[in-house]
Amino acid sequence: MTDTVDTAVSPGYFRGRDIRSLAADLRSGRTTSVELVEHSLAAITRLDPILNAFTTVDTEGALAAARTADRERAEGRDRGVLHGIPVSVKDLIDIAGQVTTSGSLAHPRRPETDAECVSRLRAAGAVIVGKNVLHEFAYGATGDRSAHGASRNPWDVNRISGGSSGGSAVATAAGMVPVAVGTDTAGSVRVPAALCGVTGFKPAHGDIPRRACTRSRRHSITWASSPPRRAVWQTPTRSCPVTRRAVRRPSLAWRGSTRPGSDRAIQRLPSPRATPWMPRASPSKPPRGSPSRQVRRSRC
């Protein structure tokens, strides 16, 4: 009988912990945002050399934001369940002052402003700890083609993480952060979520703003993982809606007058025009005896 070798890593603090329970601990005083960020940074220091989930770690900025969150909470200001929670984002999404590489050495840039989704996360009190590795230009489902190297599966470091938001899935699955933001067009969040054993949620296209995200293709931001649509990686499924609500656009499903006392009826927006990949209605059957019907019969 062949001996088996355990190639999984010992997880970080956040493995199996959901945002609501962490928020409850913060509100009750059982922990602080600084302590949560320190847990995150310690896990990154220990695990990232093995798993390669991060391109950038903002230690000073994260601790400063955590101290601010603790001070606001002590003053009675509560921004919501994300207040003081560590979060990481895919290195396709701009963070002011940090280099955005999109997994490539071709066009790195240092933006001066945050992406809209990052701004909304900050407004909700989230603490951004760093940026995650991705498949180069988000064009791949394996996660092993990047200027920063391959991200490794935390359950077996000899296996791929999936992509393109591989680093976001790895960071969440390994417990380095409780939630991470990625992007998804054709599985860039869902594939690594499946391979790494976490929840990857892809919202409707346009549900989360894509401003200041590298538009290498049409993506949708998804939770726990290319702009074009944003996504989020999270271990407990019930945490996904919590993060999405903090960054999504206001509902565009209904329109009507905003004037006080107006009696104009609220109207449903028209359905989007059919796109080429949507199925078309089947044509009506040709009448009996028509040439096309005779041809079909002869081919059967």
Annotated catalytic residues are 90, 164, 188
For 24, phi then psi, to 5°, come to: -65, -40
Contact 53, 132 (CB under 8 A): yes
Q: What span, in angstroms and rounded, lies between the C-alpha atoms of 182 and 184?
A: 7
Of the candidates 3, 5, 4, 8, which has an alpha carbon nearest to the alpha carbon of residue 156? Answer: 8
CA 198 to chain centroid? 12
Say which amino acid occupies 23. A
What span, in angstroms and rounded, lies between the C-alpha atoms of 55 and 45? 13
58-89 b/e (C-beta count within 10 Å ≥ 16 → b): beebbbebbbebbebbeeeeebebbbbbbbbb
Q: For the beta carbon of residue 299, count every other beta carbon within 10 angstroms.
A: 6
- Residue 189's CB: how many other CB atoms inside 10 A? 38
Calculated CA dihedral for residues 225, 107, 141, 148, nearest 10 degrees? -90
